[in-house]
A and B are shown apart, each in its own frame.
Chain A
């Protein structure tokens, strides 16, 4: 038996912290860390709901595995983009993103 409130509070807090990281950071890699925290919150929500309901298809856990895989693909491509930007501009400052040099 588990109380269903603590997992939900952890999901909310992790998502809020990730959002803060995305909004308050200027280094592109630190922004990605915020995105990872938000995806982790989504995965925890899937697993929690799957565990607390009668989930005979195991959809919650399988969706979390899918989210983890998609996050791995996303971060590989995003870091490729960040490294390409670093090679062309010499910094990865989000405040200067989109400006022509």
Chain B
């Protein structure tokens, strides 16, 4: 066990445990808050693997923006603050989902550990300078394409927000 192993195991365990809480808690708002913990711990995993810039982007975009967006959506759709059983699925569906999820996790872990070897390897991730050179050199056109995609998503979200729909019945007379 090296220091890397210990640190990665700690960060990964926090990430997995809080992800488990995020999908199983009955408090809707707590679910989004546990997602923050999970993604922040994942940022720690990226740091251990030597990907500092990815860790910063993860913290900034995911924890800072995406989860805040999710929390706003929860508020706007009038999520209850306390425990809520209004949207619970049936026990059968939850058991089936548990089986499928556990089977997928086991299969994926087994295949990946088998494919990438159960060995010790040197970490080859550091160097934000090289990452910047590659990002704005070899990868610049996909990067620009992605900025166009973000613009399209922004316009689409704006168009969706302004769709002329009201509560059913309230605007029915107006629409005809």
Contact = CB atoms under 8 A, between A and B. Distances in A.
Interface of A: 1-21, 23-27, 29-30, 32-34, 36-37, 40, 43-45, 47-55, 57-58, 60-62, 64-66, 68-77, 79-84, 86-90, 92-93, 95, 101
A8 B108 CA distance: 8
Contact of A10 (B45, B50, B51, B167): B45
B122 A1 contact: yes
Q: In which size bucket is the chain B interface?
A: 35 or more
Nearest to B102: A16
A37 B35 CA distance: 8
A47 B100 contact: no
Given A6-B12, A90-B167, A23 B146 contact: no
A79 B158 CA distance: 11
A37 B108 contact: no
B89 A24 contact: yes
Nearest to A50: B125
A90 B77 CA distance: 8
A27 to B, nearest CB: 4
A81 B156 CA distance: 10
B125 to A, nearest CB: 4
Given A76-B157, A77-B160, A82-B73, A4 B118 contact: yes
B81 interface: no
24 contacts: A4-B120, A7-B8, A8-B112, A11-B109, A12-B108, A13-B19, A15-B108, A16-B108, A20-B102, A25-B23, A26-B87, A29-B73, A43-B54, A57-B139, A64-B46, A68-B62, A72-B62, A72-B65, A72-B150, A73-B152, A75-B69, A80-B157, A82-B73, A87-B165
A2 B87 contact: no
Nearest to B154: A76
Given A4-B117, A8-B109, A44-B45, 16 more contacts: A1-B123, A2-B5, A6-B8, A9-B113, A14-B19, A17-B101, A20-B97, A29-B79, A33-B22, A34-B23, A68-B54, A76-B69, A77-B157, A80-B160, A84-B160, A88-B168
B42 to A, nearest CB: 6
Contacts of B152: 73
A37 B161 contact: no
A39 to B, nearest CB: 9
Interface in B1-50: 1-2, 4-5, 8-9, 12, 15-16, 19-20, 22-23, 28, 31-32, 35, 38-39, 42, 45-46, 48-50
